[in-house]
Amino acid sequence: MVQYGAWARIGNLLAVVLVLNLTVNAASAETVTIAAFGDSLTQGYGLPDGDGLVPQLQVWLETAGQDVKLVNMGVSGDTTAGGLARIDWTLTDEIKALIVELGGNDILRGLPPTESRRNLEGILQAAAVRGLPVLLVGMQAPGNYGADYKQDFDAIYPDLAALYNTLLFPVYLAPILDGRSFADALKAFMQADGIHPNKAGVGLIVPVIGPYVVDLVGKIE
Assess whether 58 and 22 both reside in one domain.
Answer: no
Per-residue pLDDT of the chain (221 residues; tens, 9 = 90+): 444 454 445 445 444 444 444 443 443 458 999 999 999 999 999 999 999 999 999 999 999 999 999 999 999 999 999 999 999 999 999 999 999 999 999 999 999 999 999 999 999 999 999 999 999 999 999 999 999 999 999 999 999 999 999 999 999 999 999 999 999 999 999 999 999 999 999 999 999 999 999 999 999 98
What is the domain range of residue 21? 1-29
16 and 99 together in one domain: no
The structural domain count of the chain equals 2
* CATH code of 110's domain: 3.40.50.1110
Pair 18, 84 in one domain: no
* Domain shared by 91 and 5, yes or no: no
**Residues 102, 126: one domain?**
yes
pLDDT given for residue 5 in this prediction: 53
**pTM to 2 decimal places:** 0.86
Predicted local distance difference test score (pLDDT) of residue 19: 42
**DSSP annotation string for the chain:** -HHHHHHHHHHHHHHHHHHHHHHHHHHH--PEEEEEEESHHHHTTTS-TTSSHHHHHHHHHHHTT--EEEEEEE-TT--HHHHHHHHHHH--TTEEEEEEE--HHHHHTT--HHHHHHHHHHHHHHHHHTT--EEEEP----GGG-HHHHHHHHTHHHHHHHHHT-EEE--TTHHHHTTS-HHHHHHHHB-TTSSSB-HHHHHHHHHHHHHHHHHHHHT--
Q: What is the pLDDT of residue 30?
A: 85
50 and 64 housed in the same domain? yes
Q: Could you tell me if 5 and 96 lie in one domain?
A: no
7 and 46 inside one domain: no
Are 111 and 10 contained in the same domain? Answer: no
pLDDT at 126: 98
* 17 and 74 together in one domain: no
For residues 115 and 134, state if they share a domain: yes
Edge-to-edge strands, sheet with 95-101:
68-74, 32-38, 95-101, 134-137, 167-169
Catalytic sites, residue numbers: 40, 193, 196
**45/150 same-domain check:** yes
